Amino acid sequence: MDLMSLLQNQLSDDVLDQLSQQIGAPKEQTASAANGIFATLVGGLANNATNEGGLSSLMSALDRDHDGSILDDLAGMIGNMSQGNTGNNALNGAGILGHILGDRQETAVQQVSQNTGLNMDQIMKLMPILAPIVMGVLGRTKNSQGLDLGGLAQILMGSAQNAQSGGFGDLIGSVLGGVLGGGQQQGGQQQQGGGLFGQILGGILGKR
């Protein structure tokens, strides 16, 4: 199961209209930026899942706050967030970004901006809106599939690898810089991503 496909399926015409209005950008550019942000956040989640503590924390957050119910009315969710109604943890986009990306948020914004032509302010408005959608899709997937820690790790690693090979390698490389050592060229990051995710997943699942 590929999280990127599930996330892209959330971008209906109505949702893209709303997002475009929120950031003042054409729908095509908004869709491109949204896909880049989705890939970045999936990569960040995969990065966090490289250790058991991070994976357990993610599972707890999903169980506590992210059952996927926000996906039932994304238009309403976006409207609430635009009005500043983010008291619900499931809608706390800034908090979610902090957990997923940490101090890499600015790097992620710069990368998505460069890849899409939108300015950094527009990307910074879009990311907190999309972050709850990522967690909602992941939470709903976990519940519907009955995923345990190993299954959750497998979904994240496989989805990040697919995103990387699907044209988002540079974005994910910037997010995973710490794991990859930071000194590799972007092409090297893209080439070695499959091996990296395989090694990490093998370690988590005890299949080395």
Contacts of 67 (CB under 8 A, 6+ apart): 136, 139, 140, 143
What's the rounded Cα separation, in Å, for the pair 179 and 44?
11
Cα–Cα separations (whole angstroms), residue 163 to 53, 83, 160, 196 = 24, 32, 5, 14
Nearest to 3 by CA among 95, 105, 139, 127: 139
What's the rounded Cα separation, in Å, for the pair 176 and 46?
9
Longest dimension (CA), the chain: 49
- Counting residues of the chain whose pLDDT is more than 90, the rounded percentage is 53
What are 74's two structure tokens? 């994304």
What are 112's two structure tokens? 């998505």
**For residue 111, what pLDDT is reported?**
87
Residue 144 has pLDDT above 80, yes or no: yes
Give residue-wise pLDDT tens across range 11-57.
Answer: 999 999 999 999 999 999 999 999 999 999 999 999 888 888 899 99
- Highest-confidence segment of 38-52, 160-174, 184-198: 38-52
Nearest-10 crossing angle of helices 149-163, 27-48: 140
Q: Give phi and psi for 96, each to the nearest 5.
A: -65, -45
- Specify the DSSP element, H or E, that contains 130: helix 120-145
Contacts of 170 (CB under 8 A, 6+ apart): 111, 115, 186, 189, 190
**For residue 91, what pLDDT is reported?**
82
pTM: 0.84
Place of tokens 């790790």: 153
CB contact at 8 A, 132 and 90: yes
